[in-house]
Structures are given as structure tokens and as C-alpha cells.
């Protein structure tokens, strides 16, 4: 199965530049970053640490503004929190004094809207959390908490799901389970997903395209199409094609870091911070 085809991108990031004003001066985190994500696509963003992946994702979410450039969702500028956009972070961020049901209800309480209980129950069932609604976060494992965060993010049926290294804190086995779960949910809902990950394997397993960012200030350095049909079997993931793709992407990231640190770890002269364009 492939992503739905459509002519207008679901998400368009156009010339996105973000300059942070820090105590030591202006710091350009991303610089004229442009990317289209089509409806129903899963796109992963990888790149060296500090290249601006989170900055780019937060810009997509509307949670922080750009210095220049724009983000469009279905052609409409994203200028603040948007109910069409769901978010999952590395930490589940469940409120410890609320049980699971109350955590999932929380965004609805804030907005004063009624949750679709049937949909939430279906999601809880799908992620294997049936019967856990009365449990508190401390009674749930890390993987269960992250599954709950996924349910919370999907509970209001966003058309775009943004995930920032969502499974980075989980053990390898649980992480693989979560990847399968995201694949399964995507096959049911075809929700457009943008995912930041440090795992190239995870990026290849989940994505239609993998975007590699350059070192800071981050820009789109390359984009790799991942042509394998879903569900993606272990055989596919163990194939020489995937192995070669993983190495190519890894070398691009390592290569970009080496050109930044050419003397075996000695940093190259820092680029002067640029003002927003």
C-alpha cells in the first residue's frame, strides 16, 4: 500500500528560517528550509545532533513562530496551536495525578469539547491498553505511557501527526513494537505523519521518504524515497537494499559532521550567526 496521492501538499514548509536570540548572540537554527509532505505520507527527518530537527518540527506545529518563511497546512498558514495537528514527544508527559482516562480527556476539558469515547476505546484497544483507563502513569511502563501518549494525540483525530523522537527512551524491543503499532494505525487511518528520529532503521521502516538535514543551520540536504510496500516485513528490513540505504544515509550524516569537525573532533570555525532573512 502506498500513501494517498494528491496534488496539493498536506503540509508545506517554505523557506523556514528560525533565529534564536541567545545571550551570546543570534543563533540560526534552521535556514531557508523547505519541504512538502503529501496527504497520507509518512516522512522522517534525520540529521546530526543540533541541526534543527526539533526547531523545524515545532515550527510545523505552530508552537513557535518562524523568523521568516511559512508553514501551510492544507494551504492555510499555521500560526498557532492547531486542532488538526497532534503531537507526540519523547516523554509521554502524562499528568501524574490523573489516571489514563482523565489524561486522555484533558485536552477535551481544556477546549470544552466532548471526546469521541468510541474512537478512544478503539484506539486503546488497538494499542493494547484496554482496561487500563483507571491506572495512573506511575503504574504504567514506559512503553505503555508512550502508547497512551499516542492515543491522546490521535484522540481528537488530527489530520497531521508530528512526532519528536517518540520512542527514543524505549528499549529496542519495545521500540520495534511501537514502530509496528504506528504502521498498523497508519494503515487504518492514513494520517499524515512527520517523525523526527535518531534511528535510521526506524526512519526507513516507517517512512515513504527520509529527509536528511545538514548540520546547523539546518536545511534539507537530501531526500530518500523508501519504496517498500506495507506492512514492511522483517525480510524487507533485513534485505541488502535496506542495508545499503541505511549505510548511504548514515554516511551522509557522518560525512556532514566530519566536514564540520575536520580535525578529528576539533570544531571548525563557527559560522557567524545570521539575522533572519
Ligand X SMILES: Nc1ncnc2c1ncn2[C@@H]1O[C@H](COP(=O)(O)OP(=O)(O)OP(=O)(O)O)[C@@H](O)[C@H]1O
Least distance to ligand X, CB of residue 81, Å: 17
Q: Is 105 in the site for ligand X (CB under 6 A)?
A: no
Determine the straight-line distance between the first and last CA of the chain, rounded to whole angstroms. 41
Task: Select from 22, 24, 240, 263 the one that contacts ligand X (CB under 6 A).
Answer: 22
Least distance to ligand X, CB of residue 124, Å: 30
Give the span between the Cα atoms of 3 and 161, in whole angstroms.
15
Q: Is 271 in the site for ligand X (CB under 6 A)?
A: no
Of 5 and 22, nearer to ligand X (C-beta) is 22
Of 16 and 127, nearer to ligand X (C-beta) is 16
Positive or negative CA dihedral for 222, 31, 42, 133? positive
Least distance to ligand X, CB of residue 196, Å: 7
Task: At 96, list the grid cell.
Answer: 501524574
Q: Is 29 in the site for ligand X (CB under 6 A)?
A: yes
Least distance to ligand X, CB of residue 6, Å: 29
Least distance to ligand X, CB of residue 198, Å: 7
Of 47 and 137, nearer to ligand X (C-beta) is 47
Give the span between the Cα atoms of 128 and 151, in whole angstroms.
11
* Site track for ligand X across 31-60, x = CB under 6 A: ----------------x-xxxxxxx-----
Contact 203, 242 (CB under 8 A): no
Give the span between the Cα atoms of 37 and 234, in whole angstroms.
27
Task: At 64, list the grid cell.
Answer: 513557535
Of 198 and 232, nearer to ligand X (C-beta) is 198
Closest CA to 147 of 98, 94, 189, 99: 94
Query: What angle do the packed helices 117-126 and 172-189 form, to 10 degrees?
Result: 140
Enumerate residues 211-250 that contact ligand X by CB under 6 A.
216
Task: At 229, list the grid cell.
Answer: 510496500
Binding residues for ligand X, rule CB under 6 A, total 13
Give the span between the Cα atoms of 99 and 94, in whole angstroms.
9
Window of 22-30, 35-43, 150-158, 204-212 that interacts with ligand X by CB under 6 A: 22-30
Of 54 and 192, nearer to ligand X (C-beta) is 54
Of 46 and 161, nearer to ligand X (C-beta) is 46
Task: At 226, list the grid cell.
Answer: 523508501
Least distance to ligand X, CB of residue 28, Å: 8
**Surface-to-core class of residue 247, CB atoms within 10 Å of its CB (0-12 exposed, 13-18 middle, 19+ buried):** exposed
Q: Contact residues for ligand X (CB under 6 A)?
A: 20, 22, 27, 29, 47, 49-55, 216
Amino acid at each position: 500500500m502506498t500513501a494517498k496521492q494528491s496534488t496539493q501538499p498536506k503540509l508545506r514548509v517554505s523557506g523556514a528560517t528560525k533565529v534564536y536570540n541567545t545571550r551570546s548572540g543570534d543563533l540560526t537554527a534552521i535556514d531557508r528550509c523547505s519541504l512538502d509532505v503529501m496527504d497520507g505520507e509518512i516522512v522522517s527527518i534525520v540529521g546530526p545532533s543540533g541541526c534543527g530537527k526539533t526547531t523545524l518540527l515545532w515550527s510545523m506545529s505552530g508552537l513557535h513562530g518562524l523568523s521568516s518563511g511559512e508553514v501551510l497546512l492544507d494551504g492555510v498558514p499555521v500560526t498557532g496551536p492547531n486542532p488538526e495537528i497532534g503531537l507526540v514527544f519523547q516523554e509521554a508527559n502524562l499528568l501524574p495525578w490523573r489516571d489514563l482516562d482523565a489524561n486522555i480527556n484533558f485536552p477535551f476539558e481544556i477546549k470544552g469539547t466532548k471526546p469521541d469515547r468510541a474512537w478512544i476505546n478503539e484506539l486503546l484497544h488497538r494499542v493494547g491498553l484496554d482496561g487500563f483507563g483507571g491506572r495512573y502513569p506511575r503504574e504504567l511502563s514506559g512503553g505503555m505511557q508512550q502508547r497512551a501518549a499516542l492515543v491522546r494525540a490521535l484522540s481528537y483525530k488530527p489530520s497531521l501527526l508530528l512526532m519528536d523522537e517518540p520512542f527514543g527512551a524505549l528499549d529496542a524491543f519495545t521500540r520495534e513494537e511501537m514502530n509496528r503499532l504506528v504502521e498498523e494505525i497508519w494503515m487504518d487511518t492514513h494520517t499524515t505523519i512527520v517523525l523526527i528520529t535518531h534511528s535510521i532503521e526506524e526512519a526507513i521502516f516507517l517512512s515513504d521518504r527520509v529527509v536528511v538535514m545538514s548540520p546547523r543551520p539546518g536545511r534539507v540536504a537530501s531526500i530518500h524515497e523508501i519504496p517498500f510496500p506495507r506492512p514492511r516485513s522483517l525480510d524487507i528490513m533485513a534485505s541488502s537494499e535496506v542495508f545499503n540505504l541505511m549505510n548511504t544515509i548514515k554516511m551522509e550524516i557522518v560525512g556532514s559532521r566530519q566536514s564540520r569537525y575536520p580535525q578529528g573532533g576539533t570544531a571548525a570555525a563557527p559560522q557567524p550567526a545570521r539575522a533572519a532573512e
